[in-house]
A and B are shown apart, each in its own frame.
Chain A
């Protein structure tokens, strides 16, 4: 067994300086270990800190204390100590993150949005394009949309573009924050298949899923965010 993620003693509070300096604690000593090929699903009520935990694992949020060790080849990198350029490098080849919302870039077509992360790794454009098309087809994004910028798409369409983008690189570690929130049963099944394929190739996954059926189909372990 290879440990891919080892989190310990994670502390996180927010201070709202412009709202009277109110401060509140969201994570207090959280810990988690995830192995290669394992999918851990976080649960807990809305506002419990699930997304905060996942964002800390992506270094999108800073933390006040604790360690976040992520495997990059032979190295366990402590994300809380890493320089920006090291984090960007890690995100490019090692660490994927799919949120509920697509951050659209003006003027960029769906196909380009999806294949960009693979292109950035220096992979041949024809290969990137083929993989992007395959993912978009699987996720039932109609071909007529591929050359349009996704800014005008429906919520569900944008979400599927986002998922395709998140799965274009075979990241060893994947973080999924409600990627199925506005999808119908057919497309949820596609996402379940993508997740299970990623597990089969050895990806370590931490996810948050609203739907019981998705949870059942992908989770090896369910952990309560307040209990970790």
Chain B
């Protein structure tokens, strides 16, 4: 991995853990399209350097919740407080829409399940990365191109593919490009919705390995939605288990998976092959 783009060890590893304020505070958030379809009530605090997994079967409300958390979907009720570097403490849906937009391209990153939702397919890989940099005010063409090359390599894409379009990339490469595009502005909080979904198993393993390293080396805070418990075990420090919109269990990842308490979590865990 390229050292220039990597900072020091993860915040989870320092003894400063106890002095930090939550990055995100979620209070009684609800969003329902119909009974049982949506999410809530959801409550949690996410601290700097934490990786939280949201698991549950298809339709349990994971993506709805992630949209609410990442300022893309106004909840019916509840509050989401984000502790911003630029704006200080902000109530996501009470505040200024333009501030939310600034957040999304600077302090936050969003990795979509389908690369086409997170990439511009008809411009080059380099432009996909450069666009985020220009959005935060960088103008020097040479610098932007150099950064783009650096990040392509950090996500294991050959830098000489910089002028190729994402549509010429494999699914796994598109996903890695999406990650590079997000990380180039050094966000503090990343939202991911099934980032390995739809990829072949061997491609998944490589992507997971890459994500694991990036997350710990950059000390990122992450909220990751997945229905794959193996992915959750590998990446997440803590888990939230959802069923028909409700959070039925939450806690330390290995505790939830090895000693599940709720009937639904027990069913979920017992229905996968042990690894």
Tell me whether A and B are bound partners: yes
Are B13 and A92 in contact (CB-based, < 8 A)? yes
Q: Is B205's CB under 8 angstroms from A18's CB?
A: no
Evaluate contact between B259 and A85: CB separation under 8 angstroms. no
Q: With contacts A61-B258, A62-B259, A62-B261 known, is A88 near B12, CB below 8 A?
A: yes
| Distance of A127 Cα from B266 Cα, bound (Å) | 42
Chain A, 1-24, CB within 8 A of any chain B CB: 15-18
B249-273 contact mask (Cβ, 8 Å, vs A): 1 or 0: 0011111001101110011001000
Whether A84 sits at the interface, judged by CB under 8 Å, is yes
| Interface residues in A, total, Cβ within 8 A | 25
- A60:B259 contact, CB within 8 angstroms: yes
* Residues of chain B contacted by A85 (CB below 8 angstroms): 12, 17, 47, 49-50, 237-238
Q: Interface residues of B: mostly helix, strand, loop or mixed?
A: helix
Q: Looking at the complex, which one of A18, A92, A106 makes contact with B263 (CB distance below 8 Å)? A: A18
Residue-wise, chain A 30-65 has the 8 Å CB interface mask toward B (1 for contact) of 000000000000000000000000010001111000
**Shortest Cβ distance from B13 into A: residue:** A120
Q: Which residues of A contact B96 (CB under 8 A)?
A: none
B239 nearest CB neighbor, chain A only? A84
For A84, list chain B residues within 8 Å (CB). Answer: 50, 237-238, 251-253
| A168 smallest CB distance to B (angstroms) | 15
In the complex, are the beta carbons of A121 and B13 less than 8 A apart?
Answer: yes
What residues of chain A lie closer than 8 Å to B255, measured between beta carbons? 59-62
Residue A218 is within 8 A (CB to CB) of chain B in the complex: no
Give chain B residues whose Cβ lies under 8 Å from the Cβ of A16.
266
With A85-B47, A87-B252 already in contact, the answer to whether A122 and B205 are too (CB < 8 A) is no
Which chain A positions have C-beta within 8 A of B237? 84-85, 88
A contact residues around B12 at 8 Å (CB): 85, 88-89, 92
**Cβ–Cβ < 8 Å partners of A130 in chain B:** none
Q: How far is it, in angstroms, between the C-alpha of A148 and the C-alpha of B275 when the chains are bound?
A: 19
The answer, yes or no, to whether A144 is at the interface (CB within 8 Å) is: no
Among B9, B15, B17, the residue within 8 A (CB) of A120 is B9
B206 interfacial contact with A, CB 8 Å:
yes
CB < 8 Å neighbour of B270 from A18, A87, A121: A18
A200: Cβ under 8 A from any B Cβ: no
What mask results when residues 8 to 35 of chain B are scored 1 for a CB within 8 Å of chain A, else 0? 1110111101100000000000000000
The CA-CA distance from A107 to B216 in the complex, in Å, is 17
Q: Which chain A residues border B205 with CB–CB below 8 Å?
A: 106-107
* B266 and A88 contact, CB distance less than 8 A: no
**Are A88 and B252 closer than 8 Å at their CB atoms?**
yes
Let me know if A105 is at the binding interface, CB within 8 A: yes
> Measured between C-beta atoms, what is the minimum distance from B206 to chain A in Å?
7
Interface residue ranges of A70-100 to B (CB < 8 Å): 84-89, 92
How far is A105 from B212 in the complex, measured between Cα atoms in Å?
Answer: 11
**Chain B residue with minimal CB distance to A108?**
B209
Considering only residues 167-221 of chain A, those with a C-beta below 8 Å from chain B are none
Residues of A within 8 A of B136 (CB): none
Cα distance A119–B9 in the bound complex, in angstroms: 8
Judged by a CB distance under 8 angstroms, whether B234 is at the interface is yes
Which residues of chain B are within 8 angstroms of A103 by Cβ–Cβ distance?
A: 275
B254 and A62 form a contact (CB under 8 A): no
Give residues in A with beta carbon < 8 Å to B. 15-18, 55, 59-62, 84-89, 92, 103, 105-108, 119-122
Q: Which 7 A-B pairs have the closest CB atoms?
A: A17-B263, A106-B205, A84-B238, A84-B252, A61-B259, A122-B9, A107-B209
Give 15 new A-B contacts, CB below 8 A, not counting A16-B266, A108-B209.
A15-B261, A17-B267, A59-B252, A60-B255, A61-B259, A62-B259, A84-B237, A84-B252, A86-B18, A89-B15, A92-B12, A105-B209, A106-B209, A122-B9, A122-B14
